[in-house]
């Protein structure tokens, strides 16, 4: 069955979902996106994702011609049109059609498309055994270049780091900022457990303030586990008791090795497994109905 795509207010067949070669999203990566998961007929943290989409739009001076409520409804409509109960939905907003110059103000009308499909970021078995990670030479851009909170269409930085990791035989790569502190992985936030305390880098060190990252703060509070933000180095990860990654697509997954250094006992830690279970219980009970 052909996938149905929401394109500028209309549900169309996948083959008919086309954008202009003069769209600035294609020409310059001039646009924004959000990825959202849905489980058991419910969209998880839909409003939080759409509100973040609008904040990204504001940051790059892209005026959204839709309201938050309209975009939320269009997201659900797209999932429903594809008769899906579990999966991933991607919203992409481009600056729209312009000319071959950089001037964004020559793009009068933004364009948006929404894709609902399945996704599997990592093989299922890795959620049982954990991920081996390597540090990438590619650094995260400085916040002075572009805030890491803007989910822009230019992901070449992350892609080059992903290439490094895969060439090194790892499924994921750790990215540092220009000062050498841990920022994030190519698509996930990073957490460690040290002496009973969960620590994650502050967003000022170059990481996205992820939706799933925020869920971990909630779950730790519910479990009575101390959690805080602090700058981390690779040494902190090498010597921690447990480590795990979070992201919309990745959910929660253990990091068991970094740069050939075994983390803890080289297996997913007890708290990491608790958080994975708590997250799975949460997604079964929360969300906007499809």
Catalytic residues: 151
At 224, give phi and psi (nearest 5°).
Answer: 75, 30
Distance (Å) of CA 112 to CA 65, 84, 102, 141, 151: 10, 21, 20, 26, 15
Residue 232 CB neighbour total at 10 angstroms: 23
Give the residue among 82, 50, 88, 56 at the shortest CA–CA distance from 69: 50
Question: Which structure tokens are listed for 95?
Answer: 């600056």
User: How do strand 197-200 and strand 226-229 relate by DSSP bridges?
Assistant: parallel
Strand, helix or coil for residue 112: strand
At 247, give phi and psi (nearest 5°).
Answer: -175, 160
- CA–CA gap between residue 160 and residue 283 (Å, rounded): 32
Q: Which alpha helices (H) appear in the chain, and where do they start and end?
A: 24-28, 46-59, 68-81, 126-129, 156-167, 211-223, 234-238, 270-285
- CA–CA gap between residue 181 and residue 52 (Å, rounded): 25
How far does CA 73 lie from the centroid of its chain? 21
Strand, helix or coil for residue 11: strand
């Amino acid at each position: 069955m052909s996938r149905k795509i929401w394109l500028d207010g209309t549900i169309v067949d996948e083959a008919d979902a086309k954008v202009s070669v003069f769209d600035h999203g294609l020409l310059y990566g001039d646009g924004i996106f959000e990825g959202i998961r849905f489980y058991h007929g419910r969209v998880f943290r839909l409003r939080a994702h759409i509100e973040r989409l609008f904040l990204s739009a504001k940051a790059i001076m892209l005026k959204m011609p839709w309201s938050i409520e309209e975009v939320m409804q269009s997201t659900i409509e797209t999932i429903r049109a594809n008769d899906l109960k579990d999966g991933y939905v991607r919203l992409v907003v481009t600056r729209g059609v312009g000319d071959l110059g950089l001037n964004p103000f020559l793009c009068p009308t933004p364009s948006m498309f929404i894709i609902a499909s399945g996704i599997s970021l990592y093989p299922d078995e890795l959620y049982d055994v954990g991920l081996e990670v390597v540090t990438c030479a590619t650094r995260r851009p400085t916040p002075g270049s572009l805030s890491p909170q803007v989910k822009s269409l230019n992901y070449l930085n992350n892609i080059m780091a992903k290439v490094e990791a895969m060439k090194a035989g790892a499924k994921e790569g750790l990215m540092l900022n220009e000062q050498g502190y841990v920022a994030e992985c190519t698509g996930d936030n990073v957490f460690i457990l040290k002496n009973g305390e969960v620590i994650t880098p502050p967003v000022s060190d170059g990481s996205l303030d992820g939706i799933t990252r925020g869920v971990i703060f909630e779950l730790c509070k519910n479990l009575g586990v101390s959690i805080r933000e602090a700058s981390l180095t690779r040494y902190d990860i090498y010597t921690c008791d447990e480590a795990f990654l979070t992201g919309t697509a990745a959910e929660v997954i253990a990091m068991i090795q970094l740069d050939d250094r075994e983390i803890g006992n080289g297996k997913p830690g007890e708290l990491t497994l608790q958080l994975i279970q708590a997250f799975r219980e949460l997604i079964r009970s929360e969300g906007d109905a499809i």
